[in-house]
Amino acid sequence: MKRRTIIAASAFALAASAGALAAIGSYGEPKFARNVFARIFTDLNFPPSTMSISKIGSDSANNIWFSTEGGGLGAVKLSGDNLAKLSAGFPINKANYSASFKLSDYLSAVVFARFGNENYFFFSSDDTAGNAGLQWGRFTDRVDLKDPLFLDGVSDVLVYDLATDGSKHLWAATEKGVYDIDLAAEEIPQATKESPHTYQGYSGAANEVGGIIDVSSLTGTPGAVYHTRFNSSIGNSAKYLFYLNPENTP
């Protein structure tokens, strides 16, 4: 099993400290701020089934992408002070794909990475009703959507968040731990044989990972920081941050 290091047991309380609150607003309003308004139903034409936006990201062409709860994956362009819908084919999870080919419309995250000499997007679902997991594709003048990736061959693994170092690793934060997906082989992405990475001192439920970020630019080597997901039935869940260095094997 590869290296995981506990960073803090009470990190989530730091943001609520008096010092942190006192610093807010001490520099005044940022001069670069602009308000860009868009209504997801009327302006962006997202489906009425869309309940909320779960994650937001942007690609190298400065398109803005949304993973949504109930509406699939959408994308828009920023034009002046307005958000314009990128394509009539969005949300792509609604566009001309059979039900067996696409994930649930309840999506949890979207990220972008260099894979096979092309820029691809990867998006995920944490829908407990079925068709959860990870899917990927490419956007040029149309959506090139690829088959879902079944993590370790298991379908319907709930994926709560995604992170990538841009060219080598894709990390999926899931109900079973962190899956490390190799993007360097220039083949169909596959989860590593030793995934998911879990903390051995806790039960499986305590290894539910709610969020993950790439820290490769900070450490100089591929790595990620993730936190456990809150589970009301487990007293120590959602209290820990972990550092994962996939290059450091025992």
Q: Which residue has the higher pLDDT, 128 or 185?
A: 128
Contact 108, 229 (CB under 8 A): no
What's the average model confidence in pLDDT over 146-156?
85
* 165-201 per-position pLDDT tens digit: 988 899 999 998 999 998 987 788 888 766 788 777 6
Provide the phi-psi class of 198: left if phi over 0, else alpha when psi is between -120 and 50, else beta: beta
Residue 124's pLDDT is what? 95
Residue 188's pLDDT is what? 87
- Rounded to a whole number of angstroms, the CA Rg of the chain reads 19
Residue 123's pLDDT is what? 95
- Percent over 90 (pLDDT), the chain: 22
* 77-117 per-position pLDDT tens digit: 777 666 777 766 677 776 667 777 888 889 999 999 988 88
* pTM of the predicted protein model: 0.80
Greatest Cα pair distance in the chain: 54
Greatest mean pLDDT among 9-23, 47-61, 66-80, 165-179 lies in 165-179
How far is the C-alpha of 17 from the C-alpha of 19, rounded, in Å? Answer: 5
* φ/ψ of residue 175, rounded to 5: -65, -15
Q: Which residue has the higher pLDDT, 60 or 88?
A: 60
- Domains of the chain are 36-203 (2.130.10.10)
